[in-house]
Structure 1
């Protein structure tokens, strides 16, 4: 086609024919923003986004397929020209505008040859609104004790091998703006007055999400007795503070107690049961103690060596049967180190749980002795018996049956 003929047809379709045939129509407007190399469609646009991108999907007749005819006009700004115009399926085209983030929420308009096509809204999220929408949940301070890591509020200073802080950060919008604000975990020794700031960087997947798990390790291992404060700071704003205490080993050892006792019994087939009372003779092939050990210190975490001794009548020094290092917290910790053959139990009156020679609790294999009445109306005193929580449970059960039968 001759060049002058093409220009003539463009003039006719643009300025002579009805607008419904020559102007763009059927538009769909989408707004997104770019931040830290990510393209995010979750609005509003944060104040520190790298750019705002407006995409418009249009049905364009041949006469309206010039990129230079389209502009985006925002109040108080120069018109923004289209960055690209790409053909899609059929007569659809994708129009792209890229612009800096407005200072506040703005309503603009899409123009074609100065004619209004569509309204374009760019909602903007301010720094204050973003920080207000942030929530720090499940803040936890964990202590590394040997190969184990446990959440704690109190720990043994000499056993600590590291201090770690974790939390879950949630936002009303994607967390992408956090990268510029700065996210820091602050560890402070209240005894020494020293502070250790640990910057925390989010991954791309965390920046695009509305929830992220944060972890920070203290660069200084707490080895001295004293309190530590652990806080999370975002954009200079302290989100939460937790306090933990390092205590001496003797204080931890003095707090050890037995919360309850059980018996572990295994039959010849290997089936294992946990019993409140010791098994009857011949009922089990192997039997052993089960102690529930705890610390009275709140939020405690510490390791101690517990020993099981055989409570043998007449023995001044009960023989050691088993010993094991155990992590003890403020909740009941099950300590059941092993089982003995039932053939060995007749010579063993029970089991004693000890720590550094101190008896923490006992579990008797002997039945509770009964008092025998005499002809004069008195009773013969029973032999010596070490009262245990198991015996206390048996007494409560018998009293309950007695009271129930009497009613």
Structure 2
């Protein structure tokens, strides 16, 4: 669950919680690191030559020159490997002649260096091909994510919106967590959910849920009917052990929210004064896809939601993130510390704290969606209590 960017203002979704320990955001630093890695084989050859000159020993040190082209295979293109190999052979020939190594023995060493250079060049070419294939696969995955998790604008109707999403797999761009927010004739409606399992089957189920939700949200006046349509679709397509936990919410009229919780983590409501409270379901319902087994049906909860109030929906990848002491991340406390009148800044602060809590890498997919009710003529300036929180 491990790239941190805001989904909003028309930006395409990306992996939100990046593996900060594995990469850096500074392009100049990345360029310098790449140049150092490319020059390392030459430094190794130079070091072996210096040791041979200082200590002597004839053939003792010359085989170590093969480290140069072998190392170059992991950091250079084939042309670079060839250059390092030729430098290695020339260095070996010079050192062998200086120490009076017999021609037969020196020829054998140089032949071995040429063989290592050829093998390293081939390995470099194969590595480059794999990297190009991986880049293409990543591009396809990113395109699939753009279609699955469509961009969420920073403002929808009377709401400010911010989203953060992270796929836990180091090379993943998509996972089993899902979210969507759509304006409809019946008000703004949104969903945040978590598919059981991982990998492509989870992505397929997430795509099914989001597709049905986006269609039903426009068609059904009643939020419970939206949930029922998702349930019917999943009942036809899911296996007996598969399910989706989700919270579906709507804003049908000014001053109220409707929430349907299907086995998901309780949303958090933040009042205009900064107080945080969990919205526990009054009648717990099973996850989507399990209604036929339990016989229970979801219930609609209505709660007041006025100007300045905020709603945070999230997946268990956030609340089940553990630190080195195996303690869970205290989301409600983190929200209370960082909440302000700009949802994007609130989620940025939560993201930073969450990564610090887990030591830089999440181990499960994680999604956060924060909704804030604002007035139409509300000023863009950030109040002092928000600045203090950040």
Superposition TM-score tier, normalisation by shorter sequence: under 0.3
Structure (1 or 2) with the larger CA radius of gyration: 1
Decide which structure has greater strand share: 1
Q: Structure 2-normalised TM-score?
A: 0.24
Larger relative CO (CA 8 A, sep 6+): 1 or 2? 2
Report the TM-score when normalising by structure 1.
0.23
> Which is helix-richer, 1 or 2?
2
